[in-house]
Amino acid sequence: MIRKVVATICFGMIFLGSKAQHMQSRMNTYSDEVAPTGFSKENLFVGGGLGLGIGSYSFNVGAFPEVGYSVASWLDVGIVGNFNYTSQKDLYYSNLRTKTFSYGGGVFGRAYVLPFLFLTAQPEINWISQKLKDNNSGQILDRYNANAGSVLVGLGYGQRVVGQSNFYIALMFDVAQNKNSPYNDVNGHPLPVIRAGFDVFVHKK
């Protein structure tokens, strides 16, 4: 299931990215040109940011360092780390709360379909440590360890100049439908994941 989703996302990003590249050649507005072939150190960037997920009974906050490369003026790819804390209130028993810490990593792609708008996909895997607590007594009722694959997809707004810097904010959902995903609420429904980040290019032009 996850492989099919990732393949579909990648195909869509390539298609939309080619449209964005054509649009850029007409508009000439959103970044310096990236060398069409070969590795260029000016296209390498590092950064990261914070993530936030909010639901009726859930709260999620995280941090994600990343290293990436601008393959073209319309496409960034890279690897990302992931550290998340989630607190979920039980739907039927208000005194029960599940607290989850997860960490992991994955890869990402961002295809700029407009100068300021991008589509993004981020397959990743997380290792999860979870405990169920009774807030009234303070007692730990259960502990659980697991791992889960996730595929975050969504869209975002960015201010990006290849070879200089990049700021972005994105709204994503986990479409992998893994019951252990740290991006689900207590009923297994995907939470909206909001991430804002800032990148700097290692060798500025």
Q: 96-143 pLDDT, tens per residue?
A: 888 889 999 999 999 999 989 999 999 999 999 988 888 778 788 888
In angstroms, the CA 90 to CA 132 distance is 10
pTM for the whole thing? 0.73
CATH number of the domain within which 148 lies: 2.40.160.20
Mark 136-149 as b/e (b = at least 16 C-beta within 10 Å).
Answer: eeeeeeeeeeeebb
Range of the domain at 14: 2-201
Closest residue by Cα to residue 80 from 43, 47, 119: 47
Instruction: State how many domains the chain has.
Output: 1
